[in-house]
Amino acid sequence: MAESSESALQQIFTDNIIEDKENKECSSFEPEKKKLKIDQPAIVPDYKLEERLSGILCCAVCLDLPRTCFQCANGHLMCCGCFNHLLADARLKDETATCPNCRCEISKNSCTRNLAVEKAVSELPSQCEFCSMQLPRNALEHHEREICQERPSKCKYARIGCPWHGPFHESPCHEESCTHPQKSGLEIMESLHKMDDEESEEQRLYKDIFGLLSFEKVTFNDLQLKPYRTDDFITKLFYETSRFSAFNNQWVIRAKVVHDQKDASHSSQRSLTYQLVLKSKISQPLNLHYMVLKGPYGEMKVKPAIYKHEFSNDSQETCHKELPVIDTIECNKLLASKTINMRLLMFQVPA
């Protein structure tokens, strides 16, 4: 009996040891790694470094590489044109301008130039629009203007009426066979008259300016146009200067944007008009010529344009005249600024 009980205990002890060993093996067991759903390896597109950098350094709005680059507080990039357009849209809609990526506030003061991006972009290759040659962007402009054999050119006899236009490398062949040098003087004079008419228009403007500068009463004022809002249900943006003195009278200038302000973000063609307003009572009519130029502290690029008006107590405001900025991009730049700096020249025409 003693031997049988001892053998039974030994069997139980052996079974416990085997069970513990199996539990330890189970606890240390690691399943096989999961297999990929697709047996073939994933194909990674072989993009060039230049293409990858172009996707990283592009403008967040137009997706083009910026020549002049601004960044928001979080580092998102915008080219100069899109940056000014966003600020101009916000000005017209009376809203706060925000970054198109992170919606943080952007302004002239909060955004900074990113010179590293500008220098990196200038080294990236780009295609010549005439011959499709790959060149660094900082050398592309000189190539297209001076070196490219496919750049558009005119015949050297264009001044006497030859209308030929073509690639630069074809111009020597054309000029050898050009018939305009053999034309009669009468035919050449017709072409010269057309050119003279275009040049005379420019000369007339500058002669008028020099003539006005010879008047006895000439004055100028450096002014700031500041933005305001109308009191209408749908407010509209307008600009106005503080009162200033000229010819012993008080004046202001008002300006407005010419476009449909209800849908500011969809308007691409913008322009500004301004009017000169007399704020004083006068005893006799006042005949004035006036023009707007870039002020000493402004960045406005304008083409000179002379306007005239006869002021009286019944006619104290001029019609709205176009502020002669060079293009829509320049108009957006003015709208993006807090104020518009300008110089107003006024000439009193003798009776």
Q: What is the pLDDT of residues 151-167, one digit of tens each?
A: 999 998 888 888 899 99
Structure tokens at 269: 């063609």
Return the pLDDT at 55. 87
For 38, the token pair is 């697709």
Q: What is the dihedral of CA 177, 180, 181, 184, to 10 degrees?
A: 140
Q: What whole-number percentage of the chain has pLDDT above 90?
A: 48
Q: Is the pLDDT of residue 169 over 90?
A: yes
Q: What's the rounded mean pLDDT across residues 322-342?
A: 89
The H-or-E segment that residue 242 falls in is: none
How far, CA to CA in Å, does 271 sit from each of 97, 242, 255, 341? Answer: 20, 22, 10, 16
User: Residue 295: its pLDDT value, please?
Assistant: 84
Nearest to 76 by CA among 49, 98, 50, 46: 98
Higher pLDDT: 105 or 28? It is: 105
pLDDT tens, residue by residue, 308-329: 999 999 999 999 999 988 888 8
Which residue from 316, 245, 256, 244 is spatially nearest to 286, judged by alpha carbons? 316
Higher pLDDT, 299 or 311: 311
Choice among 12-16, 143-147, 300-304 with the minimum mean pLDDT: 12-16
Q: How far is CA 329 from the centre of its chain?
A: 5
Tell me the average pLDDT of the chain.
Answer: 84
- Average of per-residue pLDDT across 75-81: 93
Report d(CA 13, CA 8) in Å as an integer.
9
Q: What residue ranges of the chain are covered by domains with CATH 3.30.40.10?
A: 50-123
Angle at which helix 115-123 crosses helix 49-57, to 10 degrees, equals: 150
What is the predicted pLDDT for the residue at 268? 66
CA distance 191 to 193: 5
Helix (H, G, I), strand (E, B) or coil at 108: coil
Nearest to 66 by CA among 53, 79, 50, 81: 79
At 349 the three-state DSSP class reads coil
CATH 2.60.210 boundaries in the chain: 215-348
Q: What is the mean pLDDT of residues 205-222?
A: 90
Residue 308: its pLDDT value, please?
A: 93
Task: Report pTM.
Answer: 0.71
CA distance 150 to 147: 9
pLDDT at 250: 95
pLDDT reading at 179 higher than 90 = no
CATH of domain 50-123: 3.30.40.10
Q: How far is CA 168 from CA 145, 157, 243, 260, in A?
A: 11, 14, 56, 44
Tens of pLDDT, residue by residue over 5-45, are 556 556 655 665 555 555 555 545 555 555 555 555 555 55
Q: Which class is domain 215-348?
A: mainly beta
What is the C-alpha R_g of the chain? 37
Q: Which two tokens stand for residue 286?
A: 């006042």
337, two tokens: 């600024």
Whole-number pLDDT of residue 244 = 95
The encoded tokens of residue 215 equal: 């008047």
Q: What per-residue confidence (pLDDT) applies to 262?
A: 55
Q: What percent of the chain has pLDDT over 70?
A: 83
Helix (H) or strand (E) holding 210: helix 185-213
pLDDT of residue 225: 93
> Does the pLDDT value for residue 125 go beyond 80?
yes
